[in-house]
Structure 1
Amino acid sequence: MKLYNYFRSSASFRVRIALELKGLAYEYRAVHLAKGEQKQPEFTALTAEGLVPLLELDDGRRLTQSMAIIEYLDETHPQPALLLADAAGRARVRALAQIVACEIHPLNNLRVLKYLVHELKVGDEAKNAWYRHWVRLGLESYEAQLAAQPATYSHGDAPTLADCCLVPQIFNAQRFDCDLSGLPRTMAVFEACMKLPAFQRAQPSACPDFEA
């Protein structure tokens, strides 16, 4: 498999975590979003969306959208499971994952931040305030969900799809100097995840295209 991704892309990071948790080998293909490589014909020929991550399977089929990719990996390589066997557990894991993937990330991804700056002429201070506001709001919701059903990871005693989403969001929140105080369960889950080799291997600093 080939994974077209960018070290700083949180959506790409989610997929790298899933691949590492499942012990699946893949070829790392870097697409530098900040340099606009996702808009180049070489990449748009692979996906009309022009977004990462893009997972190209061994048979040449291409999958897009991180959540869909992870669920595909979970269905085709069931162990370790990232979605639970019981319907209520799956719903909770998906709900936690979607707090990040549907509530926080769409408002703060690189395209949105660039639009704020270049089209709406928002200054860096206001842009960062925008970012921090939506991160904080979403993580407070995440914290409340964890408080209602405490566990080592986001749901239970093993990482799930929710943790694949949470960890990259915390990385980005730290990069933007977001306020992460008062989120004890969320941060405890993050720290538990980062003790695992799979999460360490997937983190941005471990990527071949990493730039400090």
Structure 2
Amino acid sequence: MKPSTLATLLVTSGLLIASSHAQLIPFFTKPSSQAASHHQQQQQQQPMDANAPGIQLPAPSSSGNTPSSAPPPNSDVILSDVIGNQRQINIFAGFTRDISSVSTRLDTTSLNTTVLAPVNSAISDLPRKPWEDPRDYSELGASAYEGQAGEDRASRNLRRFTEAHVIPASPWKEGEKVRSMGGAEVWWENRGGKAVVQPGNVEVDRVVSRVANGEVWVLKGVLNYAS
């Protein structure tokens, strides 16, 4: 082989290798600035600290209000801003965003609200899903939630469940009977130093948020939501 031919082949091979290497580089480059920013925001986002100052169980006071020792609510945020900050109630938090009547209320600064959010385990342990109703299965069979009509039926049931846990009052006084958004009359009382929502003796685990338009209470169980 002539020297000139060999030199030409070497140069051509070198160009091919360089071209292949250039094509591989994007797979190993760092994420774009937008992706990096999103990743950084995910790392910085932390669940609300349930043990932060002023976050405690509602307790009776001489005036009958929720804690007289409680600090003023955070006026910079509203319920729709914080409802999703607690992992242990994120199932119910998702329901509040899906039900327009509830999401609108939590997003309205002029409407004070107490959200009674069951823990995830309480919802998971229900004998049926919140959007299911035994009467639907009795009347329509296994296909009760199929098709558009079934979706509408499930949506109504989920709305009933969610609205049963939204109280249009805050602060909510001990013993004060208020009708939930779902229409049931509920109140809370002190039982041996623990706040219990009635009817049903559903214990309040703690209050995790106090903001401009209300509070979020974590419940250890689920309120009766049957119509």
TM-score between both structures, scaled by the size of structure 2:
0.24
Rg larger in 1 or in 2?
2
Q: Which has the higher helix share?
A: 1
Q: Which has the higher strand share?
A: 2
TM-score between both structures, scaled by the size of structure 1:
0.25
